[in-house]
Structure 1
Amino acid sequence: MQASPMSEDEIAAMMRALGHPVRLEILRILSARADSCCCNDVTDCLDLAQSTVSQHLKVLLDAGVIERHAQGTRNNYRVRHDRLSGFTGAMERYFDQLGTDAASCARASRPQPAA
């Protein structure tokens, strides 16, 4: 089953979530793990307080970039590769459309030869 295209609001939310270097580093950490990991695992890899890492995880979670699941008394996180793939596709389509629109605009704005 193919996922429905992302709305502009979803694209913007994902761009905001991915627009911070710490969140990009958290994604790298989560992606490097074969399984999911908890906030403390991520905190161990960063020079940040656990509360700061938790806030960044929440932003990624709210944007749908990662998912959370309970394992005992801990919340574990993992990257939602399906959402990242959908985002990549949406951005490719968006930028392809911008290129087409820009080319059309450039052709339309060229001076027409005098007859």
Structure 2
Amino acid sequence: MTPAPGPGLRLVTSPAHPAGSPPLRAVARVRSGPARLDFEQLAARIPAVQWGLALAGDADLELHLACRDPQELREVVATLRRAGAAGVQVELVLRTLLPAAAAPSTVLPARSTVA
């Protein structure tokens, strides 16, 4: 039995990996090296990047990723390090939680890619 998400939160479920949907979601918290990392360049070079946040704190960027498999996730981390990241911490997303009062329109859409 899955535990309840907690007071004031609701669990958002979706069909198990619809066709074309990457099954592995992760959050990468990235610390810049001597040179500042540019989100737009990273997003253009790494198709798995869905969206991100610029942060003030231990990490400089938080990248939300959708990968096909663990190998693609490893490639993303390697690309971030080659781009100059001093540190990359990756956490896998188990499920999405939203406040109970949140409207479906407040969920950020996944970035679509055109082949």
- TM norm. shorter chain > 0.5: no
Structure number with the higher helix fraction is: 1
- Which of the pair has the greater relative contact order for Cα pairs under 8 Å at 6+ separation? 2
TM-score range, shorter chain: under 0.3
Structure number with the higher strand fraction is: 2
Decide which structure has the larger Cα Rg and report it. 1
